[in-house]
Structure 1
Amino acid sequence: MRTRPWFHFGLTLAVLAALVALVALVAGTQPARVQAQAPKTLKIQASWPAALTIYDNFTMWAKRVEQLTGGQLKIETLPAGAIVPAFEVLDATHKKVIDGAHTWAAYWTGKHKAAVLFTGGPGGTFGMDYIDYLGWMYEGGGLDLYQEFYREVLKLNVVPIPILPSGPQAFGWFKRPIKNLADFKGMKCRQTGMAAEVYTEMGMRIVNMPGGEIIPAAERGVIDCAEWIGGVEDLRLGFHNVWKYHYTPGMHENVTVGELLINGDVWQGLPPVTQEIIKAAAMETFIRWWARWQKQNADALAELQDKHKVQISRTPDDILIEFLRAWDRIAKREGEKNPFFKKVHDSQRQYASKVVPAKRFMFPPYEFAANYYWPPKK
């Protein structure tokens, strides 16, 4: 059964609040040095358009940085394509064409397959949820591996910081109902990244296309199904106008984390207290934005059902189990030929082997109280 780490969530908020307060206090104890410097502006570009709610994560962080620095550091937030194409922000940050990027590490799997593991990984990586992922990142050596990945493996001059928890994501939209794995096989579906490899392993025919092409392709019958994000983002894209069968959850991105990248030279040029403010603001944004986004998704699901008459159903368990099995096979093959992939994957396995079983024992199933107060509709 799936659980939710309410105790850890509350503890995280408390620690986070103390951290942000401490950073602000430290900043306030050094007025002479900070005030002597002219305000600085960083140009940072996202890999998504400003219309998406995930872009709000970007602007929330930027505003918080400006507040905590007393206006001494401003962030010019730029949408996809403002300076470079969406998938070129990593190289542009390395070359200092832009000062940084708000993006997603899984976009770089073409450079190295281990990139997907720093987004949280398919299947949540050994059953971990978002709080577990943060635990691995900050308490289990993940951040050191993350920095090593960019600095030593990819040889890029960037500093990565986790910031965007855009999940759990839905399984997808379908032109007809699916009841089991047999119904799923052979369908032609839009999917991207490592998840596309997993679904191919499961027997699905994959079509890769940008988000803006999904609805036209569905209308023409080019694809039978598609995955985007879920909830409010899917509502905005208009899936309900072409298909009425929506399934959730998925295992492909039940934990998926976007990143903030800063050029290494730019980072080193910032005062240490400013670096700490940037990191603290990113952690605060991670929690605050995620809480807001869950409410937005709840409202969107209600609108899809009540107004647009979408049939929203639970993804069949045999599909989710087969996804995990297929991913394990792919990860094993990749680890046999890719030492750094194996190094990161083993690190996640070791951390999860301690935390996941313990939380399963200590935390009540989310469904227990949820079903008592809000019985599922028949």
Structure 2
Amino acid sequence: MSETKKPVSRRSFLKTGGLAAGAAAGALATPAIVSAQETMTLKMQSSWPSSDIFQEMAKQYADRVEAMSGGRLTVDLLPAGAVVQAFQVQDAVADGVLDAAHTVTAYWYGKNKAASLFGTGPVFGADASQILAWIHFGGGKELYAELVQDILGLNVVGFFALPMPTQPLGWFKDEITSADQMQGLKYRTVGLATDIMQGMGLSVTQLPGGEIVPALERGVIEAFEFNNPTSDRRFGAQDVSKHYMLGSYHQAAEFFEIIVNKDLYESLDSDLQAILEYAAEAANTANYGLAMDQYSKDLQALMSEDGVNVHRTPQAIMEAQLESWDTVLQDLTQDAFFKKVVDSQKEWSERVAFYSLMNQADYKLAYNHYFPGKLDS
């Protein structure tokens, strides 16, 4: 007996076929949905005390990672000293003791002085924003990876955020009017700034921010710089010194370094890797906005409420700094990798700073036009 086949209507096919396809798709999609709902918590420590504005900036990064990942990545952000000391976070991340850290390259410059070129290097006319652009577009990212992974063999990957405003020359017992006054001063700074300030005759000690005031109280240092009016005011600089010198070439192009354990990073899905990287760029904007708002407020408060005398560092001192940079570079560029980084930055600065300096408006002229006498008061 032969079987008579019934014709299948298009509506029936679409209905049954659609259900079957939907069921199959659902079976395939279910594991992905479960995976997307899984969360991983990254243990991240900064190099900053919990009270420092830098810790707030680190949190701006952590918040963006969590939001951009839809909660798949959460960040347990800890302050300096919670697991390791401020200068030890790089080793802790490389060894897997920490998953990530928020720091600056100058804090591990003892491993290789070229580290300081990725944040506290010489000034060839380009500012911090332009040197951060060199990181992304001028070969800096590749040179950083070569230093960290190939030369030092460290199990980390790193990203950068916040082109920092020029860091003040610092806090002194008296106004500094000439380089001669600085001879023999016991002074705190970090990174290559150590070399250039020593070249100017200062006795330099490297300390994390949280140790500065205790060192002043013990007489270990007599003068210091940290970074900005907000950080300085929060740890009480105004209580131990009353003369604040603004403007310097010792650290005029720094930014944060955000590092992640390389094995952990490479184990993540590609979208999460991208989030860890590009959240640094998102934090850039948030960090800078917070800095402009808070730094300017605290500078005014230092003057009006705390009795601090704010001075512009004389040009003669900055010229002396440039001469000291020349000597330091002559020495350190004997190292082939150090020279390669410096040459790259110099080539970038010659082109980029030329454009910027030739093109930018005279902001000081405009400020004096609308707020006459304030800069000279």
| TM-score bracket relative to the smaller structure | 0.7 to 0.9
Could you tell me the TM-score, scaled by structure 2's length? 0.87
Alignment of 1:1-378 (within 5 A): 33=32, 35-37=34-36, 38-123=38-123, 126-219=124-217, 223-336=221-334, 338-375=335-372, 376-378=375-377
Could you tell me the TM-score, scaled by structure 1's length? 0.86
CA 1:74–1:212 in structure 2 vs 1: closer, same or farther (change >3 Å)?
Answer: closer
Query: Percent sequence identity over matched residues?
Result: 36
Contact conserved, 2:120 with 2:254, CA < 8 A, in 1?
Answer: yes
Displacement after TM superposition at 1:216 (Å): 4.1
Task: Measure, in 1, the Cα distance between the counterparts of 2:298 and 2:31.
Answer: 48
Between Structure 1 and Structure 2, how many residues are aligned?
A: 346
Q: Which amino acid aligns with 1:105?
A: T
Find runs of 4+ consecutive structure 1 residues off by over 6 angstroms: none
Task: Measure, in 2, the Cα distance between the counterparts of 1:160 and 1:31.
Answer: 34
Contact conserved, 2:107 with 2:190, CA < 8 A, in 1?
Answer: no
Contact conserved, 1:54 with 1:166, CA < 8 A, in 2?
Answer: no
CA 1:135–1:93 in structure 2 vs 1: closer, same or farther (change >3 Å)?
Answer: same
Displacement after TM superposition at 1:224 (Å): 3.2
Task: Measure, in 1, the Cα distance between the counterparts of 2:176 and 2:62.
Answer: 42
Q: Which amino acid aligns with 1:111?
A: K
Mark the runs of 5 or more structure 1 residues left unpaired by the alignment: 1-29
Task: Measure, in 2, the Cα distance between the counterparts of 1:117 and 1:316.
Answer: 25
Q: Which amino acid aligns with 1:180?
A: S
Displacement after TM superposition at 1:153 (Å): 0.8
Contact conserved, 1:119 with 1:255, CA < 8 A, in 2?
Answer: yes
Displacement after TM superposition at 1:134 (Å): 2.2
SS at match of 1:127: coil
Cα deviation per residue 1:155-188 (whole Å; 9 max; x = unaligned)? 1111110024443211111111221222222333
Task: Measure, in 2, the Cα distance between the counterparts of 1:194 and 1:80.
Answer: 22
Equivalent residue number for residue 9 of structure 1: none
Task: Measure, in 1, the Cα distance between the counterparts of 2:55 and 2:218.
Answer: 30
Task: Measure, in 1, the Cα distance between the counterparts of 2:221 and 2:49.
Answer: 24
Higher relative contact order (CA 8 A, sep 6+): 1
Select between 217-226 and 235-244 the one with higher mean Cα deviation: 217-226
Q: CA RMSD in A?
A: 1.9
Task: Measure, in 2, the Cα distance between the counterparts of 1:281 and 1:247.
Answer: 34
Mark the runs of 5 or more structure 2 residues left unpaired by the alignment: 1-28
Task: Measure, in 1, the Cα distance between the counterparts of 2:210 and 2:107.
Answer: 17
SS at match of 2:87: helix
Q: Which amino acid aligns with 1:256?
A: E
Contact conserved, 2:175 with 2:311, CA < 8 A, in 1?
Answer: no
Contact conserved, 1:228 with 1:234, CA < 8 A, in 2?
Answer: yes
Task: Measure, in 1, the Cα distance between the counterparts of 2:216 and 2:345.
Answer: 37
